[in-house]
């Protein structure tokens, strides 16, 4: 094996000590809470093919695949049949083909081989290299797993080698930050179904406290563990994520000044209806298309979600209507807020004030519900005579949800959603009830119920 990749292949040195020698697993095993995503059990092990794992920066893709390697070893797969290559150290597709071809000659030829290429989008022309390897028959007996943080590039490139992916039913996987449900499960706070149906005030209070914590650290394991240990989120933890975003945008030849301006403008108009022209009026950037390109890049990195208005009778986005821009996780919100508006104590000066500000927290809660839903369904908002915060598409119809981070629900604010028979309200209430005959559930319970959709 190329000596550059030995630190990530310590299973070749010692199976027994792999979890303590590998850099990702070593850090993971030092945490209070250790998460194992279900994707580990979904990636095919007996069907050769080309599989992709997408997800934003710092979400845990590399660690997940190290856990997958460990599970392969525990199931009896010989260490010589497993390899991990970092795409950050490979310049172009020519180097990729040469490296993989050589690596495969060192691995057993009579059984399935498991080869991981991490952050493959760093490699110029990587899809050409994978296509060549497939067409040359070099990976016909390989479970080849490719990871990347740029969702658009992966989606486009995957289309360039159809028929070469293998025979598995599912070949593309997307790793998200932990949902609120995942977080409760990880920390042993998840109520049973029966408890949720008959939840008492004490348990409801506990759920709201857990949700308040989620709004602070989001679904990022580093922040979850740091908050559990120290009751705060440090500058270094926030900066780590922000620097990844900044670095990835610079690799795309984007200007840091423009990026900071645009993210600052997103905070200013967070979760409100905007157009690229509106944003351009606040910035030194002359062209709305430049703003659209930067936001599209942030969306491809799983950093932001652009929520479009819904054309109700067609169940598609309304291209001419304004959009809403929201961050895909509370932790991303806080990390980028610290980058754009730096302070010496972001937890005390930014995070807690945001959570305690009714207006700001309301927008953060609404975006949290929206981004949870968009993981599973096409998700929009409704703009008609009034506005409905969320409408997701399921079973060829849309399901509207109004999110109210308040105990006082005003009839005027519900004039649009009350028109829909299948509507729901997620509100800051203590029990499941009805408002104007609309089912109304506490926000934490509403988020947990999304798991059953």
pTM of the model: 0.94
Give the pLDDT score at 1.
Answer: 84
383-422: pLDDT as tens digits: 988 899 999 999 999 999 999 998 788 888 899 999 999 9
Q: Which residues of 94-106 are buried (b: 16+ CB within 10 A; e: fewer)?
A: eebbebbeebbee
Q: Which helix (H) or strand (E) holds 18?
A: helix 18-21
Cα(10)–Cα(304) distance, integer angstroms: 36
Work out the end-to-end distance of the chain between its first and last CA atoms, rounded to an integer number of angstroms.
Answer: 45
The band of 195, judged by pLDDT with boundaries at 50, 70 and 90, is: confident
Q: Which helix (H) or strand (E) holds 388?
A: strand 387-394
Mean pLDDT of the chain: 93
Best CA proximity match to 401, nearest among 374, 369, 363 = 369
- What homologous superfamily does CATH list for 3-174? P-loop containing nucleotide triphosphate hydrolases (3.40.50.300)
Pairing between β-strand 142-148 and β-strand 310-311 as defined by DSSP bridges: unpaired
Cα(277)–Cα(289) distance, integer angstroms: 9
Residue 292 CA neighbour count, 13 Å, CB half: 9
Cα(175)–Cα(201) distance, integer angstroms: 34
pLDDT exceeding 90 applies to what percent of the chain?
80
Give the pLDDT score at 25.
Answer: 94
Q: State mean pLDDT over 11-29.
A: 91
Tell whether the torsion through CA atoms of 427, 430, 436 and 437 is positive or negative.
positive
Q: Which helix (H) or strand (E) holds 370?
A: helix 358-374
Q: Centre a 10 Å sphere on the Cβ of residue 214 and count the other Cβ atoms it contains.
A: 24
| DSSP single-letter state for residue 12 | G
Give the pLDDT score at 16.
Answer: 86
Stretch(es) of the chain classified as CATH 3.40.50.300: 3-174
Paired strand residues for 325: 306
Q: State mean pLDDT over 328-353.
A: 97
Give the pLDDT score at 410.
Answer: 87
Give the pLDDT score at 15.
Answer: 87
Q: Centre a 10 Å sphere on the Cβ of residue 28 and count the other Cβ atoms it contains.
A: 21
Give me the phi and psi of 293, to 5 degrees please.
-65, -40
Q: Which helix (H) or strand (E) holds 440?
A: strand 438-442
- Asked if pLDDT for residue 80 goes beyond 90, the answer is yes
């Amino acid at each position: 094996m190329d000596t550059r990749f030995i630190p990530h292949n310590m299973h070749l040195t010692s199976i027994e000590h792999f979890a303590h020698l590998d850099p990702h697993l070593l850090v993971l095993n030092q945490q209070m809470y250790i998460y194992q995503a279900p994707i580990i059990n979904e990636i095919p092990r007996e069907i050769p093919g080309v599989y992709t794992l997408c997800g934003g920066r710092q979400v845990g893709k590399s660690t997940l695949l190290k856990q997958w390697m460990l599970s392969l070893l525990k199931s009896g797969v010989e260490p010589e049949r497993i390899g991990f290559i970092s795409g950050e150290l490979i310049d172009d597709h020519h180097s990729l083909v040469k490296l993989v071809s050589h690596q495969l000659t060192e691995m057993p030829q009579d059984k399935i081989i498991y080869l991981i290429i991490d952050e493959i989008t760093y490699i110029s022309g990587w899809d050409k290299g994978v296509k060549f390897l497939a067409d040359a028959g070099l990976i016909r007996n390989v479970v080849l797993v490719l990871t990347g943080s740029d969702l658009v590039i992966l989606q486009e490139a995957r289309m360039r080698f159809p028929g070469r992916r293998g025979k598995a039913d599912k070949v593309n996987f997307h790793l998200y930050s932990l949902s609120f449900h995942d977080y409760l499960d990880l920390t042993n706070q998840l109520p049973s179904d029966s408890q949720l149906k008959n939840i008492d005030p004490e348990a409801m209070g506990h759920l709201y406290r857990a949700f308040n914590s989620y709004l602070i650290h989001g679904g990022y394991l580093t922040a979850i563990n740091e908050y559990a240990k120290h009751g705060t989120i440090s500058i270094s933890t926030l900066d780590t994520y922000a620097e990844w975003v900044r670095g990835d945008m610079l690799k795309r030849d984007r200007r840091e000044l423009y990026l900071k301006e645009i993210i600052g403008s997103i905070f200013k108009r967070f979760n409100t209806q905007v157009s690229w022209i509106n944003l351009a009026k606040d910035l030194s950037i002359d062209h709305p298309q430049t703003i659209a390109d930067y936001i599209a890049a942030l969306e491809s990195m799983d950093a932001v979600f652009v929520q479009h208005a819904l054309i109700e009778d067609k169940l598609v986005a309304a291209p001419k209507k304004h959009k809403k821009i929201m961050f895909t996780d509370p932790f991303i919100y806080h990390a980028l807020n610290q980058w754009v508006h730096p302070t010496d104590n972001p937890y005390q000066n930014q995070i807690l004030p945001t959570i305690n500000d009714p207006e700001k927290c309301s927008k953060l809660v609404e975006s949290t519900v929206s981004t949870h839903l968009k993981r599973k369904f096409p998700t929009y908002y409704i703009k008609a005579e009034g506005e409905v915060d969320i409408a997701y598409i399921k079973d060829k119809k849309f399901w509207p949800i109004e999110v109210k981070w308040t105990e006082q629900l005003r009839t005027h604010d519900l004039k649009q959603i009350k028109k829909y028979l299948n509507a729901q309200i997620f509100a800051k209430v203590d029990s499941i009830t009805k408002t104007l005959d609309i089912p109304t559930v506490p926000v934490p319970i509403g988020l947990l119920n999304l798991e059953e959709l």
